[in-house]
Amino acid sequence: MKINLVILLYLANTAFCAAQIGFTYDDAGNRESRYLIELKSTDEASEEADKQSNFSISEKRNILVFPNPTEGLLAIEIIDGELDEGTPIQMNIYTLKGDLITSKEYASKTIEIDLSDQPPGTYLLDLNIGEDKHNFMIVKD
């Protein structure tokens, strides 16, 4: 009877609870607090990952780099009211080994880059806008 009750409680917990319990500890190993970790279904998690992976955003300025991953054409939009249209923008793309693929200077807030001649892989995009430096990781399918 006790085994059936334990099994029933376990099944009810796994079926109806979409959370786990997490703990925080101090440096001495004493438990300080307890919190719930909300678990998402695989569909919700993959939808959220798809929404987040279509573009990259810089924290310093409003810079969008999309689509990421890309099949070849990459767009960069600098949405910054403080940036003058004629401000030089230095763009460099490197392989993960550090080899420079392309280096160009632009004066427009909208940039299109064609990576279709490059093999699939991961690349580093460096944008230098005035004194600000922005780094992005680009995946080419």
Which residue segment(s) compose the domain that 62 sits in? Answer: 54-140
- Residue 44 falls inside a structural domain: no
DSSP character string of the chain: -HHHHHHHHHHHHHHH--EEEEEEE-TTS-EEEEEEEE---HHHHHHHHHHHHS-EE-SSS-EEEESSSBSSEEEEEE--TTS-TT--EEEEEEETT--EEEEEEE-SSEEEEE-TTSPSEEEEEEEEETTEEEEEEEEE-
Does the reported pTM lie above 0.85? Answer: no
- Residue 82 binned pLDDT confidence (cut-offs 50, 70, 90): confident
Q: What is the pLDDT of residues 60-77, one digit of tens each?
A: 678 889 998 999 999 998
Q: What is d(CA 1, CA 13) in angstroms, rounded to the nearest whole number?
A: 18
Question: Does one domain contain both 32 and 59?
Answer: no
- Residue 16 falls inside a structural domain: yes
- Residue 49 falls inside a structural domain: no
CA dihedral 95, 112, 66, 140 (to 10 degrees): -30
Q: What is the pLDDT of residues 10-66, one digit of tens each?
A: 555 554 555 667 778 888 888 888 777 666 655 554 555 444 445 566 666 788 899
Question: Does one domain contain both 22 and 70?
Answer: no
Question: Does one domain contain both 67 and 92?
Answer: yes
Question: Does one domain contain both 67 and 25?
Answer: no
We report the CATH number of the domain holding residue 98 as 2.60.40.3080
- Specify the pLDDT at position 53: 47
Give residue 49's region: left, alpha or beta (phi > 0; psi -120 to 50). Answer: alpha
Task: Please give the tally of structural domains in the chain.
Answer: 2
